Amino acid sequence: MLAPIAGVLFDGIAYGMLLFVLSVGLSVTLGLMNFVNLAHCAFAMLGGYVTVTLVNDFHWPFLATLPVAFFAAAAVSVVFEQLLYRRLYGASDLDQVLLTIGIAFVSVAVAAYIFGTLQQPIQTPAFLRGSTQVAGLSLGNYRLFLIGFALVVTVLLVVGLEYTRFGAQIRAAVDNQRMARGLGIDVNRTFAATFALGSGLAGLGGALAIEIVGLDPSFSFTYLVYVLIIVSVGGLGSITGSFAAAILIGVSDIAGKYYVPEIGAFLIYLVMVIVLMWRPAGLFGRR
């Protein structure tokens, strides 16, 4: 009786970790720059396709493609930031939503044009396949890897934002833009760098997601919903909030699909609406 519950919990946490890597970038950019970026998962999808192409066509090892996915997504996002996003800082939510939905639509069509609409297969290295027996439970290696990876990312992010000079500049720019400018912080560059970091993490998440959820052109929208739910439930700009929300949503989703498959995704939407009605700024929101 206990083993299935622990198994579901483990899968849910691993799934939550994946969602965390996908969404933490959006949380950072949304919370710090107040920009509603619905094209976030388009950058994640880009990272995914970079990894698929490198592994399948150029026979790179899977792990070596992860940094490339990160940097590709980051680089492309900076181009978009400079060309389009920058014009809409401080514009209404609706304009930002529309611009970024437009970009997400385009990304879906471009991905379908280049890669077709089929699911992309991926070959992970041998040590990430199979499973390990721990205390009578069979834990998937890839899922263990995901959990470890996400924990490292979390620690790096928290340390980076709290204890480095760059992190201090970001927080200063967010708290009081004018004051930060007055102190000689290049706010525009700080924001561009933050945006690149957030999108890079999305790209990384997209690459990691292929093994678990697959990759096809609709990724931009399918996971956008999950990512937005996590960001709004966790509270904008809060890394620990995203972490907790990702686990909550990951576990509710997997448990819902396992125990009550007939209601499908109902449960996570319900969790989101209830959490937001109870705490409009999210679980760990500042306001």
Partner 1 sequence: MADAAAIPTPQDYLQQHSRWRPIEILFWLATLSPFVLFPDYLSLASQIAITALFALSLDVILGYAGVVSLGHAAFFGIGAYTAGLYSKFVWGEPLTGLLVAAAVAGVSGYAVSFIIARFRHLTLIMITLGIGLLAHEAANSARWLTGGTDGFEGIRMLPVLGLFRFDLYGYTAYGYALVVLFVLFVAVRRLVHSPFGLALRGIRENWTRMPAIGADRPAHIRKAFTIAAAIAGVAGALLAQTTSSISLESISFQRSADVLVMLVLGGAGRLYGGLIGAIIFMVARDQFSGIAPQYWYFWIGLLLIAVVIALPNGVLGGLSSLVKKLRRQS
List contacts with partner 1 (CB under 8 A): 30, 36, 84, 87-88, 93-95, 97-99, 101-110, 112-113, 117, 221, 225, 228-229, 232, 236, 262-266, 269-270, 272-273, 276-277, 280-281
**Closest CB 83 distance from partner 1, rounded Å:** 10
- Let me know if 261 is exposed, middle or buried by CB neighbors in 10 A (0-12, 13-18, 19+): exposed
Q: How far is the CB of 105 from partner 1 (least distance, A)?
A: 3
Question: Is 61 or 280 the residue whose CB approaches partner 1 more closely?
Answer: 280
Smallest distance from the beta carbon of 22 to partner 1, in angstroms?
Answer: 17
Q: How far is the CB of 126 from partner 1 (least distance, A)?
A: 37
Q: Which is nearer to partner 1, 117 or 132 (CB)?
A: 117
Taking residue 193's Cβ as centre, other Cβ atoms within 10 Å add up to 17
User: Among residues 38 and 72, whose Cβ is nearest to partner 1?
Assistant: 38
Nearer to partner 1 by Cβ, of 159 and 265: the residue is 265
Q: Which is nearer to partner 1, 126 or 277 (CB)?
A: 277
Report the alpha-carbon distance of residue 248 to residue 172 in Å, rounded: 30
Among residues 93 and 175, whose Cβ is nearest to partner 1? Answer: 93
The strand pairing partners of 8, in sequence order, are: none
Nearer to partner 1, 172 or 225 (CB): 225
Q: Please list the residues that pair with 139 across neighbouring strands.
A: 132
Minimum CB separation of residue 279 from partner 1 in Å reads 9
- Please, what is the minimum distance in Å from the beta carbon of residue 98 to partner 1? 5
Least distance to partner 1, CB of residue 128, Å = 33
Closer residue to partner 1 in complex, CB, 94/126: 94
Q: Is the separation of the CB atoms in 251 and 68 below 8 Å?
A: no
Q: Report residue 278 CA to chain centroid gap.
A: 24
